Structure 1
């Protein structure tokens, strides 16, 4: 059984080296990069002049290095602050977004379709604190009162500072660099900004995303603000793609094709009927045999045949009884006819999703939005918050309709949207609103620093000690309001208005420090834990989610539990991973995992145990052998 000694975030430097090896294998000798050989391979593309066009500032080198560093932190689940923990696909992360972005690298690399951020504009009043690149995680824990050290205060970046612009650029650069990794190849980032740093932001975005991937600089007429000479009526939104060559034109309602369920809740409008499906229809599922009856409010019954997915196709002829929402269209498509819906849109195909439910996919048209946006104002943003709270706790909050507009032209039904400067929670609000309107199932990841509220502020008096607390409450209230406003809409009860809360913290695993000063303390620490590498004040679920994060599994995967004796076993993602972190583990735990594995379609799951949790060495050996007998070879301990 292999032992996991360290859990860290994605090593971006190593990842880049591996890519270089694939492209230029001869540039490496005994695992090391031979710079001269690489130069010879790229030939005339080498920049030899000392002076060339570039964007630089005091601190840039440090910022570049920081983007490549791994994080030893983790995200600890907070169920009591979450909403609909077991069913939601949305995430709220409380923590420094620099460290959080590092931790998301493995799980969400190239999976985010859209990023929207409203970062500090660098007005001289809006910086929270300076990054401490020597140990950013420790710095964050100290500043937010999560460690015993006190005295450091949150600061602003004043305009009389000699490195006013440099500090802002150093703060933004590594965050944007990490954000780019998370975007899908056809993903887009929108960044709100004003005149203070618009020019500098565009230059570093050109460097990070590439000038060739610049889409547009949008002008947003946000509303009038008096200034010395002119009344400022606008801000900017910079728009970049990850890979413009992979990005098609914007689509009507944001998508070139729309997909939705082809069954409904049985009713007079949608009566139950039987449709016969031939083998070979697309089935977006790993090999699996489905039961003859499934579904609750929208039941599906297999009348004849075996409902089986094989090689991502329907394996057998099957007759299915359900309340079809478009029965005639389904039958016409099965008969090879061109199917056009009531809106004149061509239905391209019907297919089964991984849950066994029939879906349809139909075409949409392209649109070309204007670069000047005039329909939304910051006053609308303020009114949105006032509609949820008695006070507006934010200065110039963005209106949800602005973010909803961006999402509608960029994202598809189930895409993921990220906002790592969540602030008032506008992006999460906008995503829920858009899903309510078009029936989508987009997911939102929000990241917000628990910046302390001023003790004299209305927010503090209302009981909100930090900004993240307000953000979470705004998302809760916005979700309930959306459901109330759409209470008569069919299927609104299925709208995902929940979110899983995670909080940035140091790793759950005790790290061995061999420095002389710490050696004795390390011995005492491990002695207190009886040799256990897991910190004494951490729960099994804390460790569970650190494992998921570092293994690259999504934080919203379904988790089932079984108890065997005094041991709890976690089944992650319907059998993709099994974890047991209990004490006194014996072979009966492996037997239960083996039985669970037989029900799963995953042929090569991972199994992870706590190394110190086995009752004896013999139990450890028997556990591994029992798992091998059912075909599970990937067994590790932590």
Structure 2
């Protein structure tokens, strides 16, 4: 009977396994354990697979490798440690908070409270390659904001053991410019998060990252390393203010950037933006052409085109010996004659103008090509953002109003370009802050009837002063979305449905109790306390969500409480998983679960009275539902 692994995947070992499949000769073993004196021990558990990097370099070179070579790369103090923390597993879970959620059983939206590094690790298997769009608004590293302080000074085993019981890293600390590692600390914070985020993106997905001049060059170089320089899409300029700041010492900083990278640029495409009323007004129909409104396009251009030199005669009889000096007709003479016969050449109201080609509105592309300059009158500015936040969040203390909040219109523009309304696209923001991205998803779904869903991740950072109904930035974000949802629900009560609910999940230590003790530290009382491997304060729903993570199932799947004989259980997504965490399981319960023929089933290991009961349970499933994957925790 196989037990579920109850911690996030060890990405280092997964990478080693992948290398071993290609180059088996470069994989070796190394000792990781020492005794109290510091000497190596020889326990079998102390040996792990490792890569001989000298051999690997030789395998990947067409000449003898003598030593390190100079090469183009981004480097900074702490980069290796940042890579380690990205790959190290954690023994943590996501615990549901049903009472803080809205439409918990039916919604596809998820709010997660916790360190975003932990969350990105926990979501690796459940959302691998499933996220269509990631938008982040990370700390800009201005010297006045905060960054995550991750703990690098541990081995993988130490990190895994400790992080299962104590909140590791994730502390928000000031990063003043006087810090000797000012840029390095910011890069070390961003690197593991971007590396993990890349794996969550769908093949045709993209990440949009807001930033300003302080770190835009560093961010672009870092993203080029993580996503590949060939997957750079654009660096957008957003005009964030509507008036210059006269108090500026040198220049008024009127813009921020949005840096865009695709997971795979060859598979990624942008949607076109709707045409504006001003653009459509340029199309008219002065000659009552039955094909509808059109606008005239110059028939000449400066690019050399030898077939584009010929004389034309206007309907009024005026001879035009050729295109203007230094220019060429853009079509050859035969094509010109065919267009003229089809009334697609405009000669002016009196028939004597130089020829122009009619471009019919009905024949042009359905939208406009997006540009890299986004003016505030199209996507909003910082004052719009604050007004929107104040509309939906009942602040009593001015110092709690965030200054770095983004306008909802800006995020809606990103959604219009990178997602579709009808493909159930998942949108992730792991610097969720005041929940602007979540707000934009709901608004865009209201606008176009879409079915996008969001995952918003925010650290539990306290506000300067507690408000009457919330005290942290995370709680502020959920308060905002509750009020937005109430408005949308009231508006669409009779005209349609938008998913305005959300599940609240919190990062916490694993539900599995710490049962690791040395022989010297174990007595009868300790043995009695460790008989049950599940922590006493954890519910069946807590266990269920850790099982979902471990089995790589999404956090938004529908959950139905069921009865298996006399035992309570959960049916996830109509048979994708049946989970029963009853303290004692009889054969009748096992048979009732098997008769539902689920894809997966999980029980508590301790719920079986002895080995014979476990073996019998497996036998029942082999007889009744042989295709079910059977595991215990």
Compute the TM-score of the two structures, normalised by the length of structure 2.
0.74
Cα distance between partner residues in 1 of 2:260 and 2:506: 29
| 1:369 alignment partner in structure 2 | 370
| 2:587 maps to 1:587 | yes
| 1:382 alignment partner in structure 2 | 386
How has the CA–CA distance of structure 1 residues 17 and 59 changed in structure 2, closer, same or farther, with 3 Å as cutoff? same
Paired residue secondary structure (1:107): coil
| 2:416 maps to 1:408 | yes
How has the CA–CA distance of structure 1 residues 527 and 366 changed in structure 2, closer, same or farther, with 3 Å as cutoff? farther
Pairwise CA distance, 1:527: 1.9
Pairwise CA distance, 1:161: 1.4
How has the CA–CA distance of structure 1 residues 554 and 461 changed in structure 2, closer, same or farther, with 3 Å as cutoff? closer
| 1:55 alignment partner in structure 2 | 74
How has the CA–CA distance of structure 1 residues 253 and 590 changed in structure 2, closer, same or farther, with 3 Å as cutoff? farther
Give the length in aligned residue pairs. 509
Pairwise CA distance, 1:631: 2.5
Match of 1:622 among 600, 616, 619: 616
| 1:611 alignment partner in structure 2 | 605
| 1:127 alignment partner in structure 2 | 146
| 2:228 maps to 1:228 | no
| 2:262 alignment partner in structure 1 | 241
How has the CA–CA distance of structure 1 residues 131 and 515 changed in structure 2, closer, same or farther, with 3 Å as cutoff? farther
Pairwise CA distance, 1:239: 0.5
| 1:550 alignment partner in structure 2 | 550
Match of 1:207 among 213, 225, 228: 225
Pairwise CA distance, 1:193: 0.7
Paired residue secondary structure (1:195): coil
| 2:35 alignment partner in structure 1 | none
How has the CA–CA distance of structure 1 residues 609 and 558 changed in structure 2, closer, same or farther, with 3 Å as cutoff? same
| 2:454 alignment partner in structure 1 | 444
Pairwise CA distance, 1:571: 1.6
Q: 1:14-66 CA deviation, whole Å, 9 max, x = no partner? A: 33234334544665589765656544443349896543322221211100111
Match of 1:191 among 209, 215, 239: 209
| 1:108 alignment partner in structure 2 | 127
Paired residue secondary structure (2:81): helix
| 1:7 alignment partner in structure 2 | 6
How has the CA–CA distance of structure 1 residues 367 and 92 changed in structure 2, closer, same or farther, with 3 Å as cutoff? same
How has the CA–CA distance of structure 1 residues 408 and 515 changed in structure 2, closer, same or farther, with 3 Å as cutoff? farther
Cα distance between partner residues in 1 of 2:408 and 2:168: 29
| 2:218 maps to 1:218 | no
- 8 Å contact from structure 2 (residues 393, 476) kept in 1: no
- 8 Å contact from structure 1 (residues 74, 506) kept in 2: yes
Pairwise CA distance, 1:516: 7.1
Q: Relative to structure 2, which stretch is displaced further, 443-452 or 47-56? A: 47-56
| 2:304 alignment partner in structure 1 | none
- 8 Å contact from structure 1 (residues 117, 419) kept in 2: yes
How has the CA–CA distance of structure 1 residues 34 and 138 changed in structure 2, closer, same or farther, with 3 Å as cutoff? closer
Pairwise CA distance, 1:252: 5.2
| 2:615 maps to 1:635 | no
| 1:568 alignment partner in structure 2 | 568
Q: 1:363-402 CA deviation, whole Å, 9 max, x = no partner? A: x957521101112211111111111134372113101111
- 8 Å contact from structure 2 (residues 149, 171) kept in 1: no
Cα distance between partner residues in 1 of 2:69 and 2:79: 17
Cα distance between partner residues in 2 of 1:136 and 1:621: 31
Paired residue secondary structure (2:144): coil
| 2:488 alignment partner in structure 1 | 482
| 1:512 alignment partner in structure 2 | 515
Cα distance between partner residues in 1 of 2:203 and 2:412: 21
Cα distance between partner residues in 1 of 2:596 and 2:223: 48
Give RMSD over aligned pairs.
3.0
Pairwise CA distance, 1:154: 5.0
How has the CA–CA distance of structure 1 residues 8 and 367 changed in structure 2, closer, same or farther, with 3 Å as cutoff? farther
Q: Could you list the runs of 5+ residues in structure 2 that have no partner in the other structure? A: 30-48, 276-360
Cα distance between partner residues in 1 of 2:120 and 2:104: 22
Paired residue secondary structure (2:240): coil
Cα distance between partner residues in 2 of 1:626 and 1:137: 36
Paired residue secondary structure (1:186): strand
Q: Could you list the runs of 5+ residues in structure 1 that have no partner in the other structure? A: 146-151, 255-342, 346-363
How has the CA–CA distance of structure 1 residues 444 and 137 changed in structure 2, closer, same or farther, with 3 Å as cutoff? farther
| 1:497 alignment partner in structure 2 | 500
| 2:472 maps to 1:472 | no
Cα distance between partner residues in 1 of 2:56 and 2:554: 37
Paired residue secondary structure (1:106): coil
- 8 Å contact from structure 1 (residues 379, 396) kept in 2: no
- 8 Å contact from structure 1 (residues 589, 623) kept in 2: no
Compute the TM-score of the two structures, normalised by the length of structure 1.
0.74
How has the CA–CA distance of structure 1 residues 442 and 137 changed in structure 2, closer, same or farther, with 3 Å as cutoff? farther
Cα distance between partner residues in 1 of 2:577 and 2:66: 48
Question: Larger radius of gyration, structure 1 or 2?
Answer: 2
| 1:527 alignment partner in structure 2 | 528
How has the CA–CA distance of structure 1 residues 175 and 615 changed in structure 2, closer, same or farther, with 3 Å as cutoff? same
Pairwise CA distance, 1:248: 2.9
How has the CA–CA distance of structure 1 residues 139 and 453 changed in structure 2, closer, same or farther, with 3 Å as cutoff? farther
Pairwise CA distance, 1:434: 0.8
- 8 Å contact from structure 1 (residues 131, 139) kept in 2: no
- 8 Å contact from structure 2 (residues 90, 164) kept in 1: no
Cα distance between partner residues in 1 of 2:493 and 2:248: 44
| 1:87 alignment partner in structure 2 | 106
Matches within 5 A, 1:61-460: 61-133=80-152, 134=154, 135=159, 155-223=173-241, 224-225=244-245, 226-251=247-272, 367-374=368-375, 375=378, 376-391=380-395, 393-412=401-420, 413=422, 414-454=424-464, 457=465, 460=466
Pairwise CA distance, 1:578: 1.5
How has the CA–CA distance of structure 1 residues 153 and 33 changed in structure 2, closer, same or farther, with 3 Å as cutoff? closer
Pairwise CA distance, 1:203: 1.3
Q: 1:606-625 CA deviation, whole Å, 9 max, x = no partner? A: 22110111245444333222
- 8 Å contact from structure 1 (residues 192, 237) kept in 2: yes
Cα distance between partner residues in 1 of 2:621 and 2:8: 29
- 8 Å contact from structure 1 (residues 128, 451) kept in 2: no
